[in-house]
Structure 1
Amino acid sequence: MPWYALLVLAVACERVGELLVARRNAAWSLGRAGVEHGRGHYPVMVALHTGLLVCCLAEPVLLHRPFRPAVGWPMLVLVLLAHALRLWCVTTLGPRWNTRVIIVPGVPLVTTGPYRFLRHPNYVAVVVEIAALPLVHTAWLTATAFTVANAVLLTVRIRCENTALATAATRDGVRSTGAVSRTP
């Protein structure tokens, strides 16, 4: 269990780092007349991701969940692959990457990197991580509950982002095919 706690702590540290980068990138976007959308669901998203990390640690301890190598190792591989995809998204978007939905007028949509294959590749990474991270240490209740909650939240988030992108595309006279943000 100590190594799993270190893994969850590493993910938490990564999230804090991402929030710092997002704050810097938000200032960049807002400084270019960017417009934020979906402020109402953002606190719920932060609470969901924070709760996930807490429950990842709590469930194995409170319910005496053993590490099951047949499940744990493949789930760890999925967590690492999700992390790699997330980094690819962050690198591809550069200063436009954010944990919020901020649309900068006149800036073309991103269609390179993972965005040439998927409209919302970062959300794929988030979905995989939310399902896999708890299962590394057999926290199946956490995996189930947070996967369902995340599906509901992503429905709202993706609808918000698609609407914002479509509005910007219509205003700027371009086709909406990219993405501009990601969850924490």
Structure 2
Amino acid sequence: MTVLYWVLAFVVLQRLAELAWAARNTRRLLARGGREVGARHYPLFVLLHASWLVAIALTIPADTVPHWPLLGLFALLQLGRIWVIATLGSYWTTRIITLDDAPLVRRGPFRFLRHPNYWVVAGEIAVLPLAFGAWPVALIWSLLNALLLRHRIRIEESTLQPRAGLS
């Protein structure tokens, strides 16, 4: 197997594990009285991420030698992803689930950024294809991600705003 396929296998397995973790957390949050907001756009995120991986697999020749510094940056972004998930713990999901009486998380990466997971994902979507020279994939999926995030962040902000004083 080539470096590209190892990296893609890692990302696919990581995303599948995260989806399982997110589904578990979602069920638990809903059982505690949480409610989902903005569910209609969720399938678009699934499609975006799946098509991004397919585009990488189909447009980059398997034997492409990566630009190692960019692949290293992608690895650092994975540490950021883990930091966000660990900080949110049982509150981390891939959906917008809110518990109206829960305070906002303000530790970990949330001390420095609003929506740190979205920053990490935006970096991943751009950096991974660029590490293999696929700038069109990086550009197209970054633009699509930005459009979806613009919509999602608006929904998330309006949902979280009433809870801002609970921290």
| Residue in 2 that maps onto 1:147 | 142
Report the RMSD for the aligned CA atoms in angstroms: 1.7
| Residue in 1 that maps onto 2:72 | 77
Q: 1:131 aligns with which of 126, 129, 143?
A: 126
Q: Offset of 1:175 from its aligned partner?
A: 2.5
Q: Distance in 2 between matches of 1:176 and 1:39?
A: 25
Q: How many residues matched?
A: 167
Could you tell me whether the CA contact under 8 Å between 2:125 and 2:138 is conserved in 1? Answer: yes
| Residue in 1 that maps onto 2:51 | 51
Q: Distance in 2 between matches of 1:47 and 1:160?
A: 19
Q: How does 1:1-184 map to 2 (within 5 A)?
A: 2-61=2-61, 66-67=64-65, 72-166=67-161, 168-169=162-163, 174-175=164-165
Q: Offset of 1:135 from its aligned partner?
A: 1.2
Q: Distance in 1 between matches of 2:88 and 2:5?
A: 31
Q: Distance in 2 between matches of 1:31 and 1:111?
A: 24
Task: Give TM-score scaled by structure 2 length.
Answer: 0.94
Q: Distance in 1 between matches of 2:103 and 2:119?
A: 22
Q: Distance in 2 between matches of 1:3 and 1:75?
A: 13
Per-residue CA deviation, residues 7-64 of structure 1 (Å, 9 max, x unaligned), is 0111011000000000100011101110101111100000000001011111113xx9
**SS at 2:165's partner residue?**
coil
Q: 1:156 to 1:65 in 2, by over 3 A?
A: farther
5+ long unaligned stretches in structure 2:
none
Q: Distance in 2 between matches of 1:23 and 1:140?
A: 33
5+ long unaligned stretches in structure 1:
178-184
Could you tell me whether the CA contact under 8 Å between 2:4 and 2:64 is conserved in 1? Answer: no
Q: Distance in 2 between matches of 1:109 and 1:13?
A: 30
Could you tell me whether the CA contact under 8 Å between 1:59 and 1:65 is conserved in 2? Answer: no
Q: Distance in 1 between matches of 2:149 and 2:63?
A: 29
Task: Give TM-score scaled by structure 1 length.
Answer: 0.86
**SS at 1:107's partner residue?**
coil
Q: Percent identity?
A: 41
Per-residue CA deviation, residues 113-155 of structure 1 (Å, 9 max, x unaligned), is 0001111111110010000011121111111100110110110
| Residue in 2 that maps onto 1:180 | none
